[in-house]
Amino acid sequence: MMSLAIDNVGGLWIWGNCPQESSNSNSSSEGGFSLVSSFAPVPVWDLQGGQRVVKVACGNEHVVACVSVGGETTNSKGGGGEEQDLVCYSWGNNNHGQLGLGDRVSRVHPQVVQTSAVYEVSCGAFHTALLSHRTRVSGDDGTNISVCWTFGLGDNGQLGHGTTQSVSSPEPVKDLPNQMYLVSVDCGLFHTSVVSSSGDVWSWGMEKGLGLCPDATFTGTDAGDAALPLPISKFHNPVQVACGAAHTVLVADGGYRLWSWGRGRSGVLGTGNTADSYAPSIVLWPPLSEQNIGDQDGSSKNTDDERLSAAMDEMKLLQSKYTAMEQYAGMLHGLIFGEPFREHEIATSSSWQNPGGGLDVARQWEEMLESADRGKLMKLERLYKGMLGGVKDKLLKKRIQEIVKEINHH
């Protein structure tokens, strides 16, 4: 219900339904809070001067922003290098505790969320997820260790705490592995997904964390929400996870592959149909040519070998399909023209093209008869007489069988 943008100097702008103080006592909102429509971007003055907004997310009626207090901030999505911890602010509607301030009182001005070392934020409809560094000491593999914090509405298990209770202060998602760095987090309306630097994806919330609406086709033990993180799959070189209202998309292979799962209505999964997908499916992205791909940072010989192997497998599949089509074409050619198919006889004349772009077999047949000598015509006549005789024999046999059955029946 609102839009936000960060400008080039770290200022935050908002438009749409903006949280503001209620100007009259007739407001239906508690605590003097209301949403007032702004048809053009206006600055969030509370976060101006001496600080830079680095990241921002919004739910249905609440906003969470990560702010760097003084100095520049480097991108934190790598698991390594120097990073600056961010201060987290929240404001807006707080009827489910989605502001993480320890109560359910709505705010019209940003207030600090009591967390530390935050580097990523996302909002669902009525819940919030944060990623922070567990410690400044690196893990065994040389990367930082992460914690995922969630708060707000928990009716569908979207907080990942093992219950459907709502909470008003940040609480860690304890069932995620301890020794890992989370690259990205995102929230759908009622589900949450994270991906680690090693490529492991977990989801939780509505309908097994897939974010599907209650009319999904889960049955039996597969039905119901997931109140704890569920492992989805493992992907190579993950970049980012993104959630729609009821579906999830993962960017992997350094940005060269997309995977999607969840509700498929309107074709949002990009899999070529509108069916729901209960497991990651490859998005039908147009293939890039080798010239367009170029040399990419972080690419490895293993990646090249995997691509080459996949290309060879595709070549083998195409070769088998070509062989089958060639055999079928030869059979049809023999039936129609009475002689084996020869590659040099493939039709190339533009006069044989029909309006749809394919070959006009009738025209090709007429031209063949026109150019055939007497011997070839007689050969064709014998061929078709034989074929026609065979059909007549089959018809006669079937008719005799039917008469026999009728006599036996009577």
Q: Are 346 and 326 in contact (CB under 8 A)?
A: no
Q: If you average pLDDT over residues 133-144, what whole number do you get?
A: 61
Question: What per-residue confidence (pLDDT) applies to 75?
Answer: 43
User: If you average pLDDT over each of 130-144, 173-187, 302-316, which comes out highest?
Assistant: 173-187
Residue labelled with tokens 């860690």 = 172
Question: What per-residue confidence (pLDDT) applies to 235?
Answer: 92
What is the per-residue pLDDT across 90-128, written as a single tens digit (0 to 9) for each?
Answer: 999 999 999 999 999 999 999 999 998 899 999 999 999
What is the per-residue pLDDT across 6-40, written as a single tens digit (0 to 9) for each?
Answer: 999 999 999 999 988 776 544 444 456 788 999 99
What is the per-residue pLDDT across 359-375, written as a single tens digit (0 to 9) for each?
Answer: 666 777 777 778 888 87
Q: Which strand (E) or helix (H) includes residue 322?
A: helix 301-337
Q: If you average pLDDT over residues 161-171, what whole number do you get?
A: 96
Question: What per-residue confidence (pLDDT) applies to 78?
Answer: 38
Question: What per-residue confidence (pLDDT) applies to 224?
Answer: 78
Q: Which among 139, 246, 126 is positioned nearest to 197, based on CA atoms?
A: 139
Cα 126 to Cα 62, 213, 261: the distances in Å are 8, 16, 22
